[in-house]
Amino acid sequence: MKQISFKLEIFEGPLDLLLHLISKNKVSLYDIPISDITEQYMDYLSEMKHFDIEVSSEFLVVAANLLYIKSKMLLPKYEGEQEEDDPRTELARRLEEYKRFKEAAVYLMEREAAGSHTFYKMREYIEPRLIDESLTDITVKHLVDAMAEIADKLRYRLPIKAKTFKGLVGREIISVFSKVKAVLKSLSNLKKIRFSDIFKGVKSRDEAVASFLAVLELIKMNRVKVVNSDEGVVLKYVKNTKEGALSFGDSQD
């Protein structure tokens, strides 16, 4: 094979040098021309000494291993002698493993370089919001049961059927906001009222639903507290706070 000339380079180790020589010779890791590679490897060590570069022991160990493999491959084989494994197999395995680690190192360096131009927001601590203690003895079922009770009472006070007035009057639209204001007005005067009192004077199912949604909205805005007492479900007034400000008033739905 043609001798390859190369500039003296500094390699990370003997396996790095061997991979370089194999790449230059364009040969397979599993079919290494051991004689030529060994000669080129020894030439490199000679060049290192010529430039007063200290040759580490690991380079010398690999050189000895190459010479051992070369000598075994040069020994004649006699008929009937048991065929031994290719002495280059172990060296090829070590080179393949080293190559994979080297490629992984290059990939990680590239990712590190790419990541150095990436910026991200640091994690923030979000303080957990404490649950209102007044709600510990109240569940959604309490509200649903209370609403069902109001609905049963309304069933016996149903207004005249709407079809009687069809074409004469339009359907009344009940806004949740108007009911929010009505509940707040009652609470600001009385400080607390029974849940069922919210529905006194209610004339239709639509008005009852709007009243119930108003209560849910006020609970959401922390304007009322709901407690379960001997009187049943009771709404308590909460003084206006920054968190419970009536921002809902911007909407007229």
Q: What is the pLDDT of residues 187-241, one digit of tens each?
A: 777 778 888 887 887 777 888 888 888 888 888 888 888 887 777 787 787 776 5
Residue-level pLDDT at 244? 43
**Weakest mean pLDDT among 16-25, 120-129, 133-142:** 133-142
Third-level CATH fold of 133-250: Arc Repressor Mutant, subunit A (1.10.10)
Residue-level pLDDT at 132? 57
Q: Measured in whole angstroms, how far is the alpha carbon of residue 253 from the centre of its chain?
A: 38
Classify 224 as helix, strand or coil: strand
Tokens of 208: 């009852």
Query: For the chain, what are the domain ranges?
Result: 14-75+85-115, 133-250
Instruction: Tell me what the pLDDT averaged over the chain comes to.
Output: 76
Residue-level pLDDT at 170? 53
Residue 167: pLDDT over 60: no
Cβ pair 214, 183 in contact under 8 A: yes
Residue 157: pLDDT over 70: no
Per-residue pLDDT, averaged over 122-134, amounts to: 70
Identify the residue with better confidence: 151 or 15: 15
Q: What percent of the chain has pLDDT over 70?
A: 76
pLDDT digits (tens, 9 = 90+) for 83-125: 677 888 888 899 999 999 999 998 999 888 888 877 777 888 8
Identify the residue with better confidence: 55 or 224: 224
Q: How is 38-105 classified by DSSP, letter by letter?
A: HHHHHHHHHHHHHTT----HHHHHHHHHHHHHHHHHHS---TTPPPPPPTTHHHHHHHHHHHHHHHHH
Residues in contact with 88: Cβ distance below 8 Å, sequence separation at least 6, in sequence order: 30, 32, 34, 69, 73
Tokens of 176: 């949740």
Identify the residue with better confidence: 84 or 1: 84
Identify the residue with better confidence: 40 or 149: 40
Per-residue pLDDT, averaged over 36-58, amounts to: 82
